[in-house]
Structure 1
Amino acid sequence: MAIDPGGQSDPTRFGTEAFYASIGRAFVAMCAFVPVLFLIEFLDTRFGHRLDQAGGIRPRHLDGLDGIVFAPFLHVGYDHVLSNSVPLIVLGTFVLAAGSARFWLTTVFIAVVAGVGVWFLGSPNTVVVGASGVIFGYLGVILMRGIVERSWWHIAVGLLVGLLYGWQLIAMFPGDPGVSWQGHLCGFIAGLVAAILFRRRRPKPVEHVDTLALGPDVS
């Protein structure tokens, strides 16, 4: 039987080779995704921002429901894409490193909850686009994951992320009319819930059963 000295094949264990490999793969994947957003913005600009109008969320309009799917990929300009790129890479890397299946379940859950929240709570005279709801969702996931999974690594990451981006939580409350605080708030709440729903299950402890060796049955 092959023995793994020190658990180096466990990607969830801080300091192992598999852990660093998982972080590296996640970082590369998120860096590769950001150019896709810039490409979409390039096409949107060439078409006179028609993609924003067609694919954005239109609160409380039935023809704006499809924006729940498309809005996270659309932005109002290159500056908007750029401002979302760094937090998307940083936060997305830590969320993805915990497992691709959980990443996709978490991302879809956050995008849907944030989008539905914007559709119900947003101003009906606006069109909402951008990945900010998903980003705030990732922030919620990381902050909550260390608690629900009782992982010192995730707690440390949560504290670091809190120091880096905690000040942005103010964007979850009404303020700048050009910012969808509804999407930020709903995304953040969705991230907290997702961390609980899609948490890593701890293996049940193995019960040791003592056996009694019996001698030959003598009648």
Structure 2
Amino acid sequence: MFKNAINYNAVLYAVLMVAAMWLGFLLQNLGWFSGCSGAIIPLSPYGLKGIFLSPFLHGGLEHIFGNSVPIFVLIFLLFQFYPFIAKKVFFLGWILTGFLVWLLPSIDIYTGDYNQVCIIGASGIVYVLAFFLFFSGVFRWNTKFLTVSMVVALYYGGLVWGVLPEELFSHLAEPSRISWQSHLSGAVIGIIMAFMFRKAGERKKKYIWEFPNYYSEKDDKLWQQYKENHPEDFLELPYKKKDNVWEHLDEIRKNG
């Protein structure tokens, strides 16, 4: 029963994405991608290819480990519970988030200075999926999808702080290397797609008794058949005629 409940495509896509990330990380360490090659460089034409390549590149083992687990879990949840729109959400979210990151210049929030940065990692996709899964359940208001929303909120609710610059919460000796722009872009795109696709595919079931005036005798075949076979049950019942006091007036006078 449990085997039949699992969508094996959900496992397959999750495994393939994580495997591709580790392959990219391996090639990166072998020198295939050096410097800003393959990274998103905001507002630079050279950095546009990073929209497609940057999720496969990471700054170290801690970075890729930190993205591998949530990527696997969130992709699995997406394809398991939203198979009808999973590919659209995943690939559209990936591209739109990367493009939005490319459009957002890296500006020091205290000095206003522009810093040219190279952005790598799959955290933008993590935020797309997490925010889509949470808000999709809220927008649909469906028990099953709301359960998924609660699971995401329970395990990844802390992601919400990542949409803000790290400098707001701690005093850093140097600018943070965490791209809050990627997180913010992913969150925004995830919410927008959750709203756009709120009516796509499986929706909340509405049972017949939830509709006004759902019952009609004419549609009840068993009831109609019973009435035909037992007409005596529906004859008008005898009743006592109401007394007319004027008819008993003489009798009342005698007794009085």
User: Is the contact between residue 122 and residue 180 of structure 1 (CA under 8 Å) also seen in structure 2?
Assistant: no
Which of 70, 74, 80 pairs up with 1:97? 80
* RMSD (Å) for aligned C-alpha atoms: 2.8
Equivalence map 1:131-150=2 (5 Å):
131-150=122-141
Q: Compute the displacement of 1:108 (Å).
A: 2.1
User: What is aligned with 1:7?
Assistant: none
Identity, % of aligned positions: 27
Q: Does 1:35 align with 2:19?
A: yes
User: What is aligned with 1:59?
Assistant: 42
CA gap 1:160/1:81 in 2 versus in 1, 3 angstroms:
same
Q: Compute the displacement of 1:193 (Å).
A: 1.3
Query: One-letter code of the match for 1:117?
Result: L
CA gap 1:21/1:118 in 2 versus in 1, 3 angstroms:
same
Indicate the larger mover: 92-101 or 136-145.
Answer: 92-101
Determine helix, strand or coil for the equivalent of 1:156.
helix
Unaligned runs of 5+ in 2: 107-114, 168-175, 209-213, 219-256
User: What is aligned with 1:179?
Assistant: 178
CA gap 1:16/1:72 in 2 versus in 1, 3 angstroms:
same
Q: Compute the displacement of 1:32 (Å).
A: 3.7
TM-score (ref. length: structure 1): 0.77
Q: Compute the displacement of 1:130 (Å).
A: 0.8
Larger Rg: 2
Q: Deviations over 1:17-75 (max 9, x none)?
A: 75x222x541343134312211111111011642x622111111111112112112221
User: Is the contact between residue 138 and residue 149 of structure 2 (CA under 8 Å) also seen in structure 1?
Assistant: no
User: Is the contact between residue 109 and residue 190 of structure 1 (CA under 8 Å) also seen in structure 2?
Assistant: no
Determine helix, strand or coil for the equivalent of 1:141.
helix
Q: Does 1:21 align with 2:3?
A: no
Return the alpha-carbon distance in structure 1 between the equivalents of residues 57 and 69 of structure 2: 16
Return the alpha-carbon distance in structure 1 between the equivalents of residues 40 and 52 of structure 2: 9
Return the alpha-carbon distance in structure 1 between the equivalents of residues 139 and 28 of structure 2: 41
Query: How many equivalent pairs are there?
Result: 194
User: Is the contact between residue 40 and residue 98 of structure 2 (CA under 8 Å) also seen in structure 1?
Assistant: yes
Q: Compute the displacement of 1:110 (Å).
A: 1.5
User: What is aligned with 1:82?
Assistant: 65
Return the alpha-carbon distance in structure 1 between the equivalents of residues 22 and 204 of structure 2: 42
Query: One-letter code of the match for 2:192?
Result: V
User: Is the contact between residue 142 and residue 204 of structure 2 (CA under 8 Å) also seen in structure 1?
Assistant: no
User: Is the contact between residue 13 and residue 75 of structure 2 (CA under 8 Å) also seen in structure 1?
Assistant: no
User: What is aligned with 1:159?
Assistant: 150
Q: Compute the displacement of 1:117 (Å).
A: 2.1
User: Is the contact between residue 132 and residue 191 of structure 2 (CA under 8 Å) also seen in structure 1?
Assistant: yes
Return the alpha-carbon distance in structure 2 between the equivalents of residues 73 and 173 of structure 1: 23
Return the alpha-carbon distance in structure 1 between the equivalents of residues 183 and 105 of structure 2: 11
User: What is aligned with 1:128?
Assistant: 119
User: What is aligned with 1:197?
Assistant: 196
Return the alpha-carbon distance in structure 2 between the equivalents of residues 111 and 57 of structure 1: 13
Determine helix, strand or coil for the equivalent of 1:59.
coil
Determine helix, strand or coil for the equivalent of 1:55.
coil
User: Is the contact between residue 38 and residue 78 of structure 1 (CA under 8 Å) also seen in structure 2?
Assistant: no
Return the alpha-carbon distance in structure 1 between the equivalents of residues 32 and 13 of structure 2: 30
Q: Deviations over 1:119-154 (max 9, x none)?
A: 122325100011100110101111111122222111
CA gap 1:63/1:105 in 2 versus in 1, 3 angstroms:
same
Query: One-letter code of the match for 1:59?
Result: P
TM-score (ref. length: structure 2): 0.67
Q: Deviations over 1:88-142 (max 9, x none)?
A: 1111111111345522211222222221222122325100011100110101111
